Structure 1
Amino acid sequence: MSSNVNLYLFDEMSFECESLYLCCRRADVRLTVETCMSSSPIHKKELTVRITDDADPLFLYSVAIGEEDFQSLKSQQGLLVDFSAFPQKFIDLLEQCILEQGKQVPRFLIQLVTSSPALDCMPAYLNVVETNPFKHLTHLSLKLLAGSDSDIKKYLAICIKNLKMENIMLEDKLHRSDKGLSKRLTVTQQALAEKSKELDKLQNEWTSQITSLTNKYSQEITAEKEKVLRVQAQYQLQHEQQKKEMEATFNRKVRHLETRVSEFETINKDLTEKKYKSESSVRELKSKFAGLEEEYQRAKQEVLSLQRENSTLDTECHEKEKLLNHLRTRIAVLKQEVKDKEQVVIRSTDVCESAQEHKKKLEESLEMKQLQIGKFETTVKSISEELLKGNEIIKKLQGEMKKLMEKMKLKNAVTLQQEKILGEKEQTVQKERLELSNVKQALQQKEEEVLKLQEQLDITVQKLEESKQLLKTNENVISWLNKQLNENKIASMHGASGHSDTPCAGSATNSAALQYGLVSICAVLH
């Protein structure tokens, strides 16, 4: 790898890659990365990537990437670098691939995916892939176009031009080296002639010195040999004595070691027995450990399933709480409506009391006019029968009203008890979430009860509306009777001022009948 790789801001920048995965086989190719100015009228920087094979001159794939092409590539493949930093980052990826190429399972790969040779002019894809046990992650994918005839010719022309330049450079180097070597040869030959003369002189001197030294050293060697023989005899005697002593000590040590070996053998037997026992205990513990691990995994799965069920039950509980809050608000609204209706009933009772007071006054007037009642008994009987029917209807309505009021009181008590029970249930739900299944059943039962209570409340509301309508009709009847009484009073006053007795008697009978009807209606309402 040349040092020009890091200078990516210059006009030309090259990068060579030694190995590449090509069509499911591994091959050595040359990958060149260059930045150059485009030949278009607007001069822009372009990044050219070229793949060639030194063994196959017709193998050529290339691509030119401009700033616009890079923007589309960036959006398609999710790149995070700009066009100015892209060449250096691409070269860094290629350097990672070169570092990993010597491994059996490289982490970074360069893949060139090509179509079949039968399909000409089909593009190829240069992929920089990071491998891991989980996934093959493609960092970059470039679409390369196969070289056309003109491109291959241009590439071959450039190759020939480069080869010619290299040939010229090599020829210059050869001429220079020939001149230098010829000069060095002449110098070395002269030096050899001089050195050979010096060698001859030295050899003559050396032979004379060797002869003299051999004579000297031969005498000294004979004397030294005699001394060595004497010393050797002395050393042999000492060696024999030391040998005997060593044999004795060695025999003692051997006996001692034999005794120790016997002791160690007994200890070894004991240790082997302990080892076998420990191995058997280890096996048992391993089997127990495996069983415990299986139980742990099962318990873990059960805990996960229970957590999921707990989460689902929590959501259901929240939904049920929302329903309960909604029902409570509805019950409060119904209670308010019942209170309003009770106030209406109280007002009607006040009206009845005022009617009773009026009735007392009318009774006083009736005592004054009891003498006239006997004449109009026939008409009163007919009216009294109709009024009795009305009284019976009013009595029935009053009985139904009393029953409805009692039912409403009972329902209010029941709803209060249910609210208390629901509060207790909510506390138990918060304290004992482990018993959610039982709480579910209780909630379902409570929901059914609440639905029943809602139905009962709807029925009571309908009955209250019916009773309201009946009260309105009764009020209308009372107002009509009051009008009739007032008319009869006016008529009686006119009769007392100078009219004949017969019409006065008729008005008196009508007033008496109306007063009797009022008395009976007020008594029923009371």
Structure 2
Amino acid sequence: MEELFNKVLQVNLRCRDCEERKTNVRVTIELQVTTSPVHKRDLLVRITDDIDPYFLFNLAISEEDFQSLKVQQGLLIDFASFPQKFIDLLNLCISEQTSESPRFLLHLSCQSPVLEGPANFSVIETNAFKHLNHLSLRLSQASDKEVKDYLAVCLSSLKAEKHVLEMKLKTTEDDLTRQLNYAQQTLSEKTKELDKLRSEWTTQTSSLSSLHSQELQLERDKALELQTRLQQQTEQLRQELESAHKKSSHQLNSRLTELEASCRELTEKKYKNESAIRDLKIKLVGADEECQHLKQQVLSLRRENSTLDTEVHEKDRLVSQMQMRVAVLEQEVKDKDQLMNRTKEVLEATQQQKESVEENAESKELQIRKLEATVKSLSEELIKANGIIKKLQGEVRTLVGKIKVKNTVTVSQEKILQETSEKLQSVERDLQSAQQQLITKEEQISKLKEQLEATVQKLNETKEVLKTNENVINWLNKQLNEKQLSRKAQGLESLENPAVSTTTAGLGVGDNILMIGGVGPARQENSHREG
């Protein structure tokens, strides 16, 4: 268990039918790694209150849960970088807590009047236009067992802190007692030194007071001498100042005449300056009018700047939506590429199966041709044997007639009859063997015909499968081309008509969901056909 974050944050708590209020909660983020039986990582988020020990909300996020959260909220990061990004958002909320209008806020809301049951923990960014929800986690309230486990952990940590504090208190008591003994010892020494210094001080003060009285008498005598000397100096200084005053009054009179002349010159300059001031006032009125006009232009430019700022913000929002939409479309294109690869593999397999079936059909046709040739040869041999039999039967009939007519020459004819009978038996045996061979050949021919029909049926089925696969590939190519064309058309429309793009931006995610749902049946059909 690795602890990644543990700080107290200010959140806005909202319950149903209750006013929103601010409170402080402790957010703890831990990373749990399990290696048996499989290597798995879970991110644990826990919200507690240091004042209320029964306030406990938990959430465990596995890698599978994060994938669904990523799809639902349009996140662009993976599970490995998610904890650090979440911690960065929380640190931004901490930095904005002291400001009057914070930009990043934390909200904890639940549907019940009291904070019970599941709660949504959200990180929201506020601006002049709207509230942007960066992340929303659904936390579940802890059960009694989890609360007991959490309280047990808190109790064990408090006991450990208590033990540490007791050890610290004991060490500080020992240090303080040691310092107190040392201080008492030094205090006794210092009191002794103080008594000694007091006695020395009393003796020194008595000697210093006698010296001071003597020095004071000497200073008084010096002050009297100094006073007489200062009176003489002040008299001399008064005389010098009177002579200097006379000189300065003469100089001032001459200076007065010069100043009167300069005053006349200055009055003339004054009249000239007043006329110049009147001209400048007229120019100032024109400058004020021009300044008012410029102020009105500045106000209009500020209004335009504010409208441009709102448009830029709107464009940024549209860009973020388009980026999310592009990510969804890229995922769709990846899925379609995988589907195309699978269909290509199935097509290659079917082509190989078609080639093998065609080769088997060619070999079967060759065997059928050979069997047909053997059947033809056997039928010709059978026809020949039937002709021989008919010929022999005619000979037998002639011989029987001759036997009836010529009973006298039976002795001489018995040998011929025996020979002919033997020939007849051998021919009948040959006929039976030929008939048996003909039956076996007919059975083989029927079996080969059945195999040929089965191979032809399989060949037709493979042709149908190939045809359906080609139709699916053509349909997927057509859908992909339509998506690309629609995406390009939407990009052009958004560039030409920004107002229309703002109205249709809310429909983008729904369209993507419909498009993703539209691909599902084609995948099911392809998987069914592959099976």
TM-score normalised to the size of structure 2? 0.45
TM-score normalised to the size of structure 1? 0.46
Larger radius of gyration: 1
